[in-house]
Structure 1
């Protein structure tokens, strides 16, 4: 039962991440972006299933985004790394920080490499967009989910 719940949670997170990113495509891609789905990067604080879920969701979203194989591979690996680091954060208020830092650096570099955008400025813009998504949307989401954590993320599947 636990493996089924894990797979179900990961799949649902991947689908939601990809759907939000693609639905909001005009603001999800590019030098100045607020990928609203990055608010979901707080989910590793509640379930380790969010780590592969966010990774797969990002792969799907990046396949749609037009940045090519470099963005699909390295952008998605950045999300995987950030999700794992979020999972390991010792304090809840730090959970949204890894996606801000990791994606700011890696996605900023990817955009610089692919489109010749100025490196530090692009890293800064990506980090600002991540800050909006992860702390502006993700942190309030985390506070709401904390109230219902036992009901939503219970591993025996009885409330999932």
Structure 2
């Protein structure tokens, strides 16, 4: 039983680290008013394990810190990912194709306000909602669902924090 907490923390840390690496690896696409943050495909992982929720949140904070984001972006951009992860987890018993919707919506709604008010991007907020939303559809809706499909076969091997020891 004591191993379950260690497994949870390990899963969260690995997911967070992968999020950071993917964000920084694709940095030119990960930041800005038109962005495709491929690391957001990992927001599908709460479908498999609750450990993904803190992992994604902390990973987003670290990626934004290393990416040179301003404090408002570090806070609210990470909260957008957290909200998406929590609601993806809550939808896990529903149709699996609904899993990418929460991160798409939360980022498409929150990030444009960060861009406009935090960075002074002088584009209409609805237009930025569209551009950020399209990037999220690509990363979460397309890449995320491909990842989810691939992981469905191995979920009991990879994600052990859900199982009893």
* Distance in structure 1 (CA, Å) of the matches to 2:64 and 2:25: 13
Pick one of 104, 109, 116 that aligns with 2:113: 109
Corresponding residue pairs, total: 158
**TM-score of the superposed pair, with normalisation by structure 1:** 0.95
1:95 corresponds, among 99, 107, 112, to 99
Report the counterpart of residue 72 of structure 1 in structure 2: 74
Aligned twin of 2:28: 26
Q: Is the 8 A contact 1:5 1:157 kept in 2?
A: no
Residue pair 1:21, 1:35 contacting (<8 A) in 2 also: yes
Is 2:34–2:135's contact at 8 Å kept on the other side of the alignment?
yes
Aligned equivalent of 2:150: 144
What is the CA distance between 1:66 and its match in structure 2? 2.6
* Gaps in structure 1 of 5+ consecutive residues: none
CA contact (8 A) 1:44 1:51 kept: yes
Q: Which residue of structure 2 lines up, in the alignment, with residue 125 of structure 1?
A: 131
Shift of 1:157: 9.1
- The alignment status of 1:84 with 2:90, answered yes or no, reads no
Give the unaligned 5+ runs of structure 2.
Answer: none
Q: CA deviation at 1:136?
A: 1.3
Which segments of structure 1 move beyond 6 Å, counting only runs of 4 or more?
none
CA contact (8 A) 1:44 1:50 kept: yes
CA contact (8 A) 2:7 2:160 kept: no
**TM-score between the two structures when normalised by the length of structure 2:** 0.92
Deviates more, 1:105-114 or 1:44-53: 105-114
